[in-house]
């Protein structure tokens, strides 16, 4: 899973472009969909992406909550949810930052 500060008008095209150039299937996440091996998920522009535990699976949660550190989507929201859902089984990397997010 990943996040990028993008408005809704650019996020679909960004996911499609990444998908064309990646060995992984890249797509915008939809609320409730299972996180699958070999797939990468981006939040729709202007929405937060969270990961939750659902039994033995992880699922995407997409929501329109308030901006965090002036950003939506916010990497802080994503990282906190992954840490809560996966604990020590998670690895995170920040490739770049924006303001206080991350």
- Which tokens hold the place of 6? 């993008």
Is 40 a member of any domain? yes
Domain count, the chain: 1
Q: What is the mean pLDDT of residues 9-24?
A: 95
Domain that holds residue 63: 8-89
pTM of the model: 0.89
Task: Give per-residue pLDDT as tens, 53-63.
Answer: 999 999 999 99
Is 12 a member of any domain? yes
Q: What is the mean pLDDT of residues 77-86?
A: 96
Is 2 a member of any domain? no
Is 94 a member of any domain? no
Per-residue confidence (pLDDT) for residue 101, from 0 to 100 = 67
């Amino acid at each position: 899973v990943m996040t990028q500060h993008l408005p809704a008008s650019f996020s679909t095209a960004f996911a499609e472009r990444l998908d064309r150039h990646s060995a992984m299937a890249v797509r915008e996440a939809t609320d409730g969909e299972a996180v699958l091996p070999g797939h990468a998920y981006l939040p729709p522009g202007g929405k937060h992406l969270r990961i939750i535990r659902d039994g033995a699976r992880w699922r995407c949660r997409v929501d329109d909550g308030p901006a965090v550190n002036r950003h939506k989507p916010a990497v802080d929201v994503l990282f906190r949810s992954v840490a809560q859902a996966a604990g020590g089984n998670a690895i995170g990397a920040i490739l770049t930052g924006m303001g206080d997010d991350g």
